Structure 1
Amino acid sequence: MRPIHGLLLMAAMMLPATARASEDEQLWTTSSATVKLDDHWRLSQELVARFSDDRHGLYEIESNTLIGYKLSKAVTLWAGYTHDPQYAGGDFTVMEHRGRQQVTFDNIARIGPATLSARMRVEERWREGIDGTAWRLRPYVKLVMPFHEGGKTALILSHESFFDLNKTNFQRVQGEERMRNLIAVTTPLARNVNAEIGYLHQHGFRPGADDSNDHVASVALAFSF
């Protein structure tokens, strides 16, 4: 079996069964910029806009600001804040604030021609007008496989799970609440600009109700300075 065939098989195996699940088609657009402040410090800003058929258009604008400290070539510690207004059909509904801490592990292993990276993220969530602090854990792994040796255009496979660590009035599942699986292609557009286009499947676990499946067209631009 060729390496790329094996990686595609892995991606298929990560998708959960879709029986008895509600379906939604979505578009997620992401722009991000990472600035190297010196040999150790980094500043990252990311903006994500999410659109849904079921929610009649725009339903979330997520702004993530992080400061990072590079411990080594592979390991970086990050901390910051997420500003997350939410909408229904483009009309504002609720404001969510998050604290975010994470550690990233870049290119920590090779699987054939592919490189493996990982991240562990912890978030604290608050919603205006609703009592309680919601805690969750988000482990993430990513495989990047160039289409040819030494090339910068590559296939990406990634998996992320969301584990809710407690229950509040707005975080109602304790345990695994959702997972995201992505298959995408990344390619440089310019010296400091990368584009990523792909398909993301988000499966939500909903005790006492049908699970949810979001089929997402994902488009991202990343700038580095």
Structure 2
Amino acid sequence: MPAAAAARDDAQGWAAATVNVDLGGGFRASNETVLRFSDNRGGLYEVEDNLMVGYKPNKQVTLWLGYTHNPQYDHGDFTRMEHRFRQQVNVDNFLQLGSVKFSGRLRLEERWREGQGGPAWRLRPYVKAAVPVKGKLNLVVSHESFIDLNTSAFQRVGGEERMRNSMVLSAPLSKKLSIEAGYLMQHGFVRGGPDNHDHVLTVALTANF
């Protein structure tokens, strides 16, 4: 296999931990930390910390504002620091077909990279379907697109940049703690060259207080 063709595929592992806190009055706070590891990039290549505050006007909708701190690495060496301002709307259980429940999210991000400027605007629509398997165990299938709304020094091509498709098993570990684990395929669109494919094993813990 030619080296250029081999470089398009990467084996990765992502681990995430999220803490959600009910602040009362419909308000809530959330902190999510994601560690991403890559075979091609020699181990840990990204630490994403997301701090958000949300307001839930009704049972289905949550409005969020937040900030993302995102240092990035390559083979153990720090490469860049990215900052993001995030706004999103979550809609839970907007559709049910039999026992399958559908939820969605629309996220808008403004991104800055130190030394490279910004903002780079990006839209991230996301939809998932939860299918009961047995008891409280669910199979969750999801799709997310990354759509670049402008160009900048580091966001050079407008339109759909990548998409993520995942399939995970989700289950509660206790009344306040749940786990998801499974597979995610990230497809990166490359203009004028071969597309990228990241094959990712994922595990995520979520605590609700």
TM-score class, shorter: over 0.9
Equivalent residue for 2:205?
A: 221
Instruction: Give 1:152 shift.
Output: 1.7
Letter in 2 for 1:52: S
Equivalent residue for 1:10?
A: none
Deviation string, structure 1 residues 67-109 (Cα, Å, up to 9, x no partner): 0000110001000100000000122110000000000001111
Equivalent residue for 1:194?
A: 178
Equivalent residue for 1:172?
A: 156
Of the candidates 28, 36, 45, which is equivalent to residue 59 of structure 1? Answer: 45
| Range with bigger deviation, 102-111 or 19-28 | 19-28
Unaligned runs of 5+ residues in structure 1 are: 1-18
More strand by share: 2
**Distance in 2 of aligned mates of 1:167 and 1:186:** 37
Of the candidates 64, 70, 73, which is equivalent to residue 87 of structure 1? Answer: 73
SS at 1:191's partner residue? Answer: coil
SS at 2:63's partner residue? Answer: strand
Of the candidates 191, 203, 210, which is equivalent to residue 194 of structure 2? Answer: 210
TM-score when scaled to structure 1? 0.89
**Distance in 1 of aligned mates of 2:19 and 2:76:** 26
**Distance in 2 of aligned mates of 1:191 and 1:200:** 27
Unaligned runs of 5+ residues in structure 2 are: none
**Distance in 2 of aligned mates of 1:190 and 1:100:** 30
Of the candidates 51, 60, 66, which is equivalent to residue 74 of structure 1? Answer: 60
Instruction: Give 1:64 shift.
Output: 0.2
- The size of the alignment, in residue pairs, is 205
1:67–1:80 CA contact under 8 A, matched in 2: yes
**Distance in 1 of aligned mates of 2:186 and 2:10:** 10
**Distance in 2 of aligned mates of 1:171 and 1:78:** 24
TM-score when scaled to structure 2? 0.95
Equivalent residue for 1:111?
A: 97
Deviation string, structure 1 residues 127-179 (Cα, Å, up to 9, x no partner): 0011221000000001011114xx32100000000000011111122000000
Moved over 4 A (4+): none
CA RMSD of aligned residues (A): 1.3
1:29–1:218 CA contact under 8 A, matched in 2: yes
